[in-house]
C-alpha cells in the first residue's frame, strides 16, 4: 500500500528545544491512524508540519508522495482538517461557511449543495444551519467544522481531539462518521488524548514522547514493544511515556 | 521578534514625529503666518478656522467614542470574564471608558495637535501657555465629547434590547442627520461668505460676526475664547472659559457614570442573553446578503470577496465607522457650497483644486487605515480556514487589494467629481485629480494591505483597536506622507502652469515632465515596498 503520510527524519526546534526530534513514521493509504502522546510531546507540531503551517529544520514531510514544503497547495487540496478548537467566522451561518469553504476548494455549486444536504442529514443540522455561528454551542461548531472538512471529498482527514466538548450522542455520531469515511477509502490521522476512542477506532497507532516515536503499529505491536502482554492501551501509554513511574512515585 | 517590534515602534515614532512636524509646518508656515498678516481680520480668520476645525473634531470625537464604546463595552469577549470577577461594575466601566477615550481620540488629537501648536506659535505662546492649552483646555474638551458618545452607546444598546434593530437603525439615521444639522448650524458657515461691497457698514458687520466665531454654548467656542484670553494675558477670562470647559466635562462625566451605574450591567446582560434567545426564535427567510455566498459559481477570489462582504455588512463595529467619515464628507460638501463661485484669481482657484485633492486623499487614507489595514487581522481565530486550505497567501492578499481598490476608486472618484463640480474646477485640474485618485487608490490600498499583513493582530476583534496599534499608526503616517508628496508633485506643475497662464512665458514642459516621472516613481515605490514586506511576512509566518 502507498504511504499517504511519510515523516522522514523530521526535526523541528523552537529556540533551544526540539519539539520534534528525528521523527520518522508512515501512514498507509486507507488507514485509521491514532496519534497519542502526553501534553507537550509534539502532537500539535506534527500536525502543523503536515499542514505546512510550520517548516521542519531537518527532514521531509510528504503527503501522498508530495513534499509539503515544495507544494503545500496540492497537499492541502487533498486534505481536510478538523482543529481541536472550532473557530468560525461568527457572522456567517453554517451554510454560508460551507459554501465559502467549497469555493476555496473550487467545488461546483451543485456539488457543494449536494454535499451540504448530505452532511445536514448526517449531523442533523437542518434546524440551525441558517443561523449565524456566533449563536452556536461548542458541539454545533464542531459539527460545522467536521462538515467543512468532509465537504470536498478529501483523501486524507487530519483530526485533532475530535471528541473534546461533544456530548455522548454527538461523540458517537462523530465516531460513526469517521468510520464510514474510512470505509470509503479515506485515510484518517487522529490525534487524541482519549485512549478509549483511539483503541475503538484505530487500526494502527503511534505514541510520541518528547518529540520522538516510542511505539508504532497495531495494539498488539505496542504490547510487544512495551513488553506488556494483554495490557490495555492506557497501561501501554503509561509505561511507554514514563507516566506510570510518576504514579508509583506518588504512592 | 522583540528586536523587530522595537525597530517597528521606533520607525513609527520617527515617522509620526515627522508627520506632526510637517503638518505643523503646513498650517503655520503656509496658512496661519500668511493669514495673520492680513490687517484687522487676520487673527479673527485664524481663530475662526481653528474654532470651526475644533467643532468638527468635537463631533468626530463624539461619533468615534460612540462606535468605540459599542465595541469595547458590549462586544469585547473579555467583558464576560471581567463581570464574573470581584471587580465592581463602576470599576470595570472605568477601565473600559479609559480604553474608549484613548482609542477614540488618539487619531483625532494627532490631527488637532499640530493645528493647535501652529496657532500657539503664531500667537507667540510661551511654554506655560502651551501647557495650559494642553491640560486645562484640550483634556476637558476630549472628555466631554467621549462622555457624550459613551452615553449614546449605552442608551442605544439599551433601546435595541427593547425595540427592533431596524427601527433603531432608522432612528439612528435621523439622530445622525440632526447631529449634522447642529454641526452646520453652530459652524455658521454663511458668515464665511465674503461680501463684495463698498459699504463699510456691511464690512464692519461681517468683521463683527467673525469675532463671535461660533455659537457661545459650544465647547469649541470656550476653547478658542480661553486661548484668546491667554494671548491677552487675561487670566480672569481664561479661568472663566476653562471653567466652562471643565464644568461641562465634569457634568458629562457625572451623567455618564449615573447612566453607567444604572444601565451598563443590565444592558450588557440583556444584550448577551439575547444571543442565546435567538436560537429559539424562528428566522423568517434567508437574508438577501446570504446570496453572495450561496449564489453564483465562485472562484477562490470570488469566495473570499463574498465572505468579506457578508462579514462587513453584518458587523456593526465595522460599518458604523463609516458614520464618522460620512459626517466629515457632509460637512466638507456643506462648506464647499458656501465658497463663492466667482473667484477670479487664478492662484486661489489652483489652491482650491490642490486642497480638494488633498481632502480626497485624506478621506481615502482614513478609509484605508480604518477598514483595509485591519482586514487581515480581523480574520482572527478563524484564519485556520485560510491557512489550512488550498489558497495561497498571494491569492488572499490579491483579494484584499482588489476589494480595497474597487471601493477606493468608487469613493475617491465620486468625491472628486462632486467636489470638483461644486468648486467649478478647471477641466485640466479635474483630469489631474481623477488621475491622481487612481494612483492614490492603488498606493493607499497597497500600503494598508502590505502593513496589515506585516503587522497583524489576530487577537483583537475591534477594528479601532487594531488600527490604533503601532502598525496602524505607521500606515496612517505613511499614507499622509504619501499624500503630502503627491500634493507637492501636483503643485509644482500646477503652479508653473498657473504662472504661465497669468504671466505668459515658456510652457513649463520640464516641470510637468519631472513631476510626472517623480509621481510615477513614488507610486511604484509605495505600491511595491509595502506589498513585498507584507507578502514576505505573510508567507514566513509560523504557528
Same domain, yes or no, for B321 and B375? yes
Contact B256, B93 (CB under 8 A): no
> For position B279, what pLDDT does the model report?
44
How far are the Cα atoms of B178, B256, B420 from residue B325, in angstroms, in the given order?
A: 16, 25, 19
Q: b vs e for B236-264, b when ≥16 Cβ sit within 10 Å of the residue's Cβ?
A: eebeebbebbbebbeebbeebbebbeeeb
Q: Band of the pLDDT at B206, cuts 50, 70, 90?
A: low
- All structural domains of chain A with their residue ranges: 1-78+158-167+189-251
pLDDT score at B283: 46
**Cα–Cα distance for residue pair B177/B515, rounded to 1 Å:** 42
Q: B187 and B58, same structural domain?
A: yes
Distance CA(A226)–CA(A236), nearest Å, equals 6
Instruction: Give residue-wise pLDDT tens across range B179-190.
Output: 666 666 665 555
- DSSP 8-state class, residue B74: I
**Is any Cβ of chain B less than 8 angstroms from the Cβ of A134?**
yes
Give pLDDT tens digits for A28-70.
Answer: 999 999 999 888 889 999 999 999 988 899 999 999 999 999 9
Lowest-pLDDT range, A229-238, B289-298, B404-413? B289-298
pLDDT range class, residue B107, cuts 50, 70, 90 = confident
Do B224 and B373 fall into the same domain? no
Give the minimum alpha-carbon distance from A29 to chain B in angstroms, rounded to a whole number.
21
The DSSP code sequence of A192-217 is -S-HHHHHHH-SEEEEEETTEEEEEE
| CB contact (8 A) between residue A51 and residue B279 | no
* Predicted pLDDT of residue B173: 66
Mutation for testing the A interface, residue in B282, B284, B289, B294 having most A CBs under 10 Å? B294
CB interface of B with A, residues 264-303, below 8 Å: 275-276, 278-279, 283, 286, 290, 293-294, 296-300, 302-303
* pLDDT class of A199 with cuts at 50, 70, 90: confident
Residue A207 contacts residue A222 (beta carbons within 8 Å)? yes
Q: How far is Cα A214 from Cα A208, in angstroms, rounded to an integer?
A: 6
Residue A222 has pLDDT above 50, yes or no: yes
User: What global pTM score does this model have?
Assistant: 0.80
Give the β-pairing of A156-160 and A187-191: parallel
Half-sphere exposure in the Cβ direction for A214 (13 Å, CA): 21
Cβ atoms of residues A235 and A247 within 8 Å: no
What is the structure's pLDDT at B271? 76
Q: Which residues of B touch A89 (CB under 8 A)?
A: 307, 311, 382, 385
- The pLDDT of residue B284 is 41
Chain A residues in contact with B286 by the CB 8 A cut-off are: 130
User: Do residues B498 and B364 both lie within one domain?
Assistant: yes
| Residue A73, min C-alpha distance to chain B (Å) | 5
Nearest chain A Cα distance for residue B523, angstroms: 32
Average pLDDT, chain B: 80
DSSP secondary structure code for residue B192 in this structure: G
Q: Does residue B342 share a domain with residue B239?
A: no
Other CB atoms within a 10 A radius of the CB of residue B157 amount to: 21
pLDDT at B277: 52
Supply the DSSP symbol for B271: H
Q: Which residue has the cell 512495551?
A: A226
Query: Pick from B261, B216, B286, B236: which is nearest to B97 by CA?
Result: B261
B472, B370: one domain = yes
Per-residue pLDDT at B430: 85
Q: Confidence band (pLDDT; 50, 70, 90) for B285?
A: very low
Q: CA B414, CA B402: separation in Å to the nearest integer?
A: 18
**Distance between CA B94 and CA B102 in Å, rounded?**
12
Residues B313 and B265 in one domain: no
For residue B193, which of B338, B387, B349, B399 has the smallest C-alpha distance? B338
Q: What is the dihedral of CA A151, A152, A155, A156, to 10 degrees?
A: -50
Instruction: Copy the grid coordinates of residue B511.
Output: 516641470
B316 or B187, higher pLDDT: B316
> Could you tell me which of B139, B118, B125, B127 has the C-alpha nearest to residue B46?
B118
Contact residues on chain B for A47, CB-CB shorter than 8 A:
none
Q: Which residues of A touch B391 (CB under 8 A)?
A: 73, 104
- Which of B276, B300, B384 faces A104 most closely, judged by CB atoms? B300
Does residue B24 contact residue B32 with C-beta atoms inside 8 Å?
no
Decide: helix, strand or coil at residue B171: helix
Residue B280, pLDDT > 80, answer: no
Residue B65 covered by a domain? yes
A14 touches chain B (CB under 8 A): no
How far apart are alpha carbons B223 and B61 in whole angstroms? 15
Query: Are A103 and B298 an interchain contact pair (Cβ–Cβ within 8 Å)?
Result: yes
How much is the pLDDT for A103? 93
Name the percent of chain A lying above pLDDT 90. 57
Contacts with A81 from chain B: Cβ below 8 Å: 384, 388
Per-residue pLDDT, averaged over A15-19, amounts to 87
Number of structural domains in chain B: 2
Q: Could A104 and B389 be called an inter-chain contact, meaning their C-beta atoms sit closer than 8 Å? A: yes
Q: What percent of chain A has pLDDT above 70?
A: 95
Dist CA B543 CA B532 (whole Å): 21
Q: Which of residues 69-98 of A touch B (CB under 8 A)?
A: 73-74, 76-77, 79, 81, 83, 85, 87-93, 95-96
Least confident of A80-94, A188-202, B17-31, B338-352: B338-352
Question: Backbone phi, then psi, for A108, in 5-degree steps?
Answer: -75, 155
C-alpha distances (whole Å) from A235 to each of A10, A161, A220, A230 are 28, 20, 13, 10
CA B420, chain centre distance (Å): 21
Q: Are residues B369 and B494 in the same domain?
A: yes
Q: Provide mean pLDDT across the span B12-24.
A: 76
Count of H-run helices and E-run strands, chain A: 10, 10
Instruction: Please list the alpha-helical segments (H only) found in B298-426.
Output: 300-314, 316-319, 321-337, 346-367, 374-377, 384-388, 393-423
Same domain, B322 and B408: yes
Pairing of strands A17-28, A79-82: unpaired
Give residues 444 to 503 of B whose Cβ lies within 8 Å of A: none
**What is the C-alpha separation between B303 and B297, in angstroms, rounded?**
9
Q: Is the pLDDT of residue B515 over 70?
A: yes
Q: How far is A244 from chain B (nearest CA, A)?
A: 32
Report residue B201's pLDDT band, with 50, 70 and 90 as the boundaries: low
Q: Which long-range contacts (CB under 8 A, 24 or more apart) does B439-442 make?
A: B439/B486, B439/B519, B439/B523, B440/B360, B440/B361, B440/B364, B440/B408, B440/B412, B440/B482, B440/B483, B440/B486, B441/B364, B441/B405, B441/B408, B441/B409, B441/B412, B442/B405, B442/B523, B442/B527
Residue of higher predicted confidence among B332 and B286: B332
Q: Is the pLDDT of residue B281 over 50?
A: no
Same domain, B269 and B311: no
The reported pLDDT for the residue numbered B399 is 95
- Best of A42, A44, A51, A91 to disrupt the B interface by mutation (most B CBs within 10 Å)? A91
- Nearest CA to A193 among A165, A166, A160? A160
pLDDT exceeds cutoff 60 at A72: yes
On whether any CB of chain A is under 8 Å from the CB of B409, the answer is: no
Residue pLDDT, tens place only, B414-471: 988 888 888 888 888 888 889 999 999 999 999 999 999 999 999 888 888 888 888 8
Q: What CATH number does the domain located at A1-78+158-167+189-251 have?
A: 3.40.50.300
Neighbours of B509 (CB within 10 A): 10
- What pLDDT was estimated at residue B196? 52
Distance CA B210, CA B446 (A): 43
Backbone angles phi, psi at A198, to 5 degrees: -65, -45
Residue B88 structural domain:
22-193+215-273
d(CA B475, CA B531): 12
User: Count of CB contacts below 8 A, A vs B?
Assistant: 100
Q: What mean pLDDT comes out for the span B220-234?
A: 82
Q: Kindly determine whether residue A55 and residue B307, on different chains, have CB atoms separated by under 8 Å.
A: no
Amino acid at each position: 500500500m502507498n504511504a499517504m503520510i511519510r515523516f522522514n527524519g523530521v526535526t523541528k526546534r523552537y529556540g533551544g528545544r526540539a519539539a520534534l526530534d528525528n521523527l520518522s513514521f508512515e501512514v498507509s493509504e486507507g488507514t485509521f491512524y491514532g496519534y497519542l502522546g502526553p501534553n507537550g510531546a509534539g502532537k500539535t507540531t506534527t500536525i502543523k508540519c503536515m499542514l505546512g503551517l510550520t517548516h521542519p529544520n531537518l527532514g521531509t514531510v510528504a503527503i501522498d508522495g508530495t513534499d509539503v514544503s515544495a507544494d503545500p497547495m496540492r497537499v492541502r487540496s487533498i486534505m481536510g482538517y478538523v482543529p481541536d478548537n472550532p473557530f468560525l467566522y461568527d457572522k456567517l451561518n453554517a451554510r454560508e461557511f460551507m459554501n465559502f469553504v467549497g469555493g476555496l476548494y473550487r467545488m461546483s455549486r451543485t456539488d457543494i449543495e449536494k454535499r451540504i444536504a448530505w452532511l445536514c442529514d448526517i449531523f442533523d443540522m437542518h434546524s440551525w444551519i441558517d443561523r449565524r455561528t456566533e449563536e452556536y454551542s461548542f458541539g454545533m461548531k464542531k459539527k460545522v467544522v467536521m462538515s467543512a472538512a468532509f465537504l470536498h471529498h478529501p483523501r486524507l482527514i487530519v483530526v485533532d481531539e475530535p471528541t473534546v466538548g461533544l456530548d455522548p450522542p454527538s461523540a458517537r455520531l462523530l465516531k460513526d462518521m469517521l468510520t464510514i469515511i474510512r470505509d470509503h477509502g479515506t485515510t484518517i490521522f487522529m490525534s487524541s488524548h482519549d485512549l478509549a476512542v483511539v483503541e475503538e477506532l484505530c487500526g494502527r497507532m503511534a505514541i510520541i514522547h518528547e518529540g520522538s516515536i516510542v511505539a508504532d503499529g497495531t495494539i498488539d505491536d505496542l504490547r510487544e514493544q512495551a513488553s506488556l502482554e494483554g495490557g490495555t492501551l492506557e497501561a501501554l501509554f503509561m509505561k511507554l511515556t514514563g507516566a506510570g513511574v510518576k504514579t508509583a512515585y506518588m504512592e | 521578534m522583540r528586536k523587530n517590534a522595537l525597530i517597528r515602534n521606533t520607525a513609527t515614532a520617527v515617522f509620526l514625529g515627522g508627520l506632526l512636524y510637517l503638518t505643523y509646518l503646513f498650517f503655520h508656515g503656509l496658512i496661519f503666518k500668511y493669514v495673520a498678516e492680513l490687517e484687522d481680520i487676520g487673527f479673527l480668520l485664524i481663530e475662526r478656522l481653528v474654532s470651526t476645525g475644533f467643532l468638527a473634531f468635537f463631533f468626530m470625537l463624539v461619533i468615534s467614542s460612540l462606535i468605540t464604546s459599542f465595541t469595547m463595552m458590549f462586544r469585547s469577549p473579555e467583558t464576560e470574564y471581567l463581570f464574573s470577577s470581584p471587580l465592581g461594575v463602576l470599576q470595570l466601566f472605568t477601565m473600559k471608558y479609559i480604553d474608549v477615550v484613548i482609542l477614540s481620540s488618539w487619531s483625532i488629537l494627532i490631527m488637532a495637535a499640530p493645528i493647535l501648536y501652529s496657532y500657539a506659535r503664531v500667537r507667540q505662546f510661551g511654554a506655560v501657555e502651551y501647557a495650559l492649552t494642553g491640560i486645562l483646555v484640550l483634556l476637558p474638551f476630549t472628555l466631554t465629547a467621549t462622555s457624550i458618545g459613551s452615553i449614546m452607546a449605552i442608551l442605544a444598546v439599551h433601546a435595541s434590547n427593547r425595540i427592533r434593530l431596524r427601527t433603531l437603525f432608522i432612528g439612528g439615521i435621523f439622530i445622525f442627520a440632526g447631529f449634522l444639522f447642529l454641526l452646520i448650524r453652530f459652524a455658521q458657515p454663511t458668515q464665511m461668505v465674503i461680501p463684495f461691497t463698498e459699504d463699510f457698514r456691511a464690512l464692519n458687520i461681517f468683521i463683527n460676526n467673525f469675532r463671535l466665531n461660533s455659537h457661545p454654548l459650544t465647547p469649541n467656542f470656550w476653547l478658542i475664547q480661553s486661548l484668546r484670553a491667554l494671548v491677552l494675558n487675561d487670566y480672569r477670562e481664561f479661568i472663566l472659559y476653562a471653567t466652562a470647559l471643565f464644568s461641562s466635562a465634569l457634568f458629562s462625566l457625572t451623567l455618564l457614570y449615573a447612566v453607567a451605574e444604572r444601565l451598563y450591567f443590565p444592558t450588557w446582560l440583556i444584550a448577551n442573553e439575547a444571543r442565546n434567545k435567538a436560537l429559539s426564535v424562528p428566522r423568517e427567510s434567508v437574508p438577501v446578503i446570504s446570496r453572495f455566498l450561496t449564489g453564483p459559481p465562485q472562484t477562490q477570489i470570488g469566495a473570499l470577496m463574498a465572505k468579506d462582504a457578508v462579514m462587513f455588512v453584518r458587523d456593526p463595529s465595522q460599518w458604523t465607522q463609516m458614520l464618522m467619515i460620512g459626517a466629515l464628507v457632509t460637512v466638507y460638501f456643506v462648506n464647499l457650497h458656501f465658497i463663492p463661485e466667482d473667484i477670479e484669481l487664478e492662484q486661489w482657484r489652483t489652491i482650491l483644486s490642490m486642497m480638494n485633492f488633498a481632502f480626497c486623499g485624506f478621506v481615502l487614507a482614513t478609509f484605508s487605515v480604518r477598514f483595509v489595514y485591519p482586514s487581515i487581522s480581523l480574520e482572527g481565530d478563524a484564519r485556520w480556514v485560510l491557512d489550512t486550505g488550498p489558497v495561497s497567501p498571494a491569492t488572499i492578499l490579491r483579494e484584499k487589494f482588489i476589494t480595497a481598490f474597487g471601493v477606493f476608486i468608487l469613493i475617491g472618484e465620486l468625491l472628486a467629481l462632486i467636489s470638483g463640480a461644486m468648486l467649478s474646477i478647471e477641466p485640466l485640474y479635474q483630469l489631474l485629480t481623477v488621475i491622481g485618485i487612481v494612483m492614490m487608490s492603488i498606493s493607499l490600498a497597497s500600503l494598508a494591505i502590505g502593513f496589515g499583513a506585516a503587522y497583524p493582530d489576530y487577537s483583537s476583534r475591534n477594528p479601532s483597536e487594531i488600527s490604533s496599534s503601532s502598525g496602524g499608526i505607521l500606515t496612517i503616517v505613511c499614507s499622509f506622507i504619501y499624500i503630502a508628496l503627491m500634493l507637492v508633485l501636483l503643485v509644482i506643475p500646477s503652479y508653473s502652469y498657473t504662472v504661465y497662464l497669468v504671466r505668459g512665458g515658456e510652457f513649463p514642459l520640464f516641470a510637468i515632465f519631472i513631476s510626472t516621472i517623480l509621481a510615477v516613481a513614488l507610486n511604484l515605490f509605495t505600491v511595491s515596498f509595502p506589498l513585498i514586506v507584507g507578502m514576505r511576512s505573510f508567507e514566513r509566518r509560523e504557528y
